[in-house]
Structure 1
Amino acid sequence: MKVKTEMPQLRLMEKRRELVRRGDVDGLIGQIAGTVLTHLSSLPVRCAPRGDLAVRRSIERVVFEVRTEIANACQQMADKAGEPPRNEQD
């Protein structure tokens, strides 16, 4: 009986966009993260003077370090939240 009374309320909340599916949110976060990483990876080419491979390689190293730091921070947040490892999801 309790489920019958809660369902219309949940549907209404979903229509008002007060309640969203976790899969939708996860997909959006994945798209945002992918966009950020793609643009971050383009920095060495965009920032280094044309033909200066030494500067470009230096920027590439920093970008790699930043991406690694981001990945580690996200992994720590997932661990704190009790998320299963990616190979165990789905």
Structure 2
Amino acid sequence: MLRKVDVDKLIDQMAGTVLTALSSMPTRCAPRGDLATRRSIERVVSEVRTDLANVCQQIADKCGEPPKAPGVKG
């Protein structure tokens, strides 16, 4: 049986992997020297990250999780 702390660690690792991969996409996808394309991809990545954060916040709100203190990361 998995303990909650172990599940939390696994979720954090999975989220970190996804966010790292998203952050590297503009560099990996845009042709070298094509800053317009890179900036466009960066905007989409930023929107996707914001959307993910909003969905996670909605889920946390529904579960009654208290809001994080200002300036607290993670």
List 4+ stretches of structure 1 deviating above 2 A.
none
- Give the corresponding residue for 1:80: 62
Q: Shift of the alpha carbon at 1:86?
A: 3.0
Aligned positions, number: 69
State the distance in 2 between where 1:35 and 1:28 align: 11
Confirm or deny that 1:51 pairs with 2:33.
yes
**Separation (CA, whole Å) in 2 of partners of 1:25 and 1:52:** 41
Q: CA RMSD in A?
A: 0.9
Partner of 1:66: 48
Q: Which has the larger radius of gyration?
A: 1
TM-score (norm 2): 0.87
Larger RCO (CA within 8 A; separation ≥ 6):
2
TM-score (norm 1): 0.73
Distance in 2 (CA, whole Å) between partners of 1:86 and 1:33 is: 18
Shift of 1:66: 0.4
| 1:30 to 2:47 alignment | no
Higher helix fraction: Structure 1 or Structure 2? 1
Unaligned runs of 5+ in 1: 1-16
